[in-house]
Amino acid sequence: MVSRMRYALLLSALLLASCASGLLRSSVDYYMKGDYEMAIQSADWALETHNPTPEERALANLIKAQSLEKLGDRDSAMGLYQYVVDTYPKTPHSYQAGQQLRRLEGAAAGDP
């Protein structure tokens, strides 16, 4: 249980640190409050109505993937994690998405 808590704190710190521009601040806030549907909507809004940098695009898609996973849509989350890994390979968000993807793949294969 401690490792889950540590993971949540690390995730929070990474997401908030990555939002220096403020473009995705509301997405992060919704995610942290557990309002995953609004986190997805907010990330989509940022992607559609602004001209985000590649790092911001990676973060928006990472937030969406994590929110989808929390909502129980594992397949869509895995697809978005893979998209972030493939499309934004030189971002910290790609590394985090890769870790989440491996975790989900391991769970699907029955690994602990």
Query: Rounded distance, CA 17 to CA 48, Å?
Result: 22
| Span 79-88, pLDDT tens digits | 999 999 999 9
| Span 6-33, pLDDT tens digits | 665 566 555 555 544 577 888 988 999 9
At 4, the pLDDT band (50, 70, 90 cuts) reads low
Angle subtended at Cα 65 by Cα 24 and Cα 10, rounded to the nearest 5 degrees: 70
Q: What are the residue boundaries of the structural domains of the chain, listed by start? A: 2-109
pTM of the model: 0.79
Residue indicated by tokens 């391991």: 106
In 3D space, the residue among 38, 58, 36 whose CA is nearest the CA of residue 47 turns out to be: 58
- What is the predicted pLDDT for the residue at 30? 93
Question: 2-109 has which CATH code?
Answer: 1.25.40
In 3D space, the residue among 82, 92, 27 whose CA is nearest the CA of residue 54 turns out to be: 92
Query: Rounded distance, CA 30 to CA 73, Å?
Result: 18
| Span 21-70, pLDDT tens digits | 577 888 988 999 999 999 999 999 999 998 888 989 999 999 999 999 99
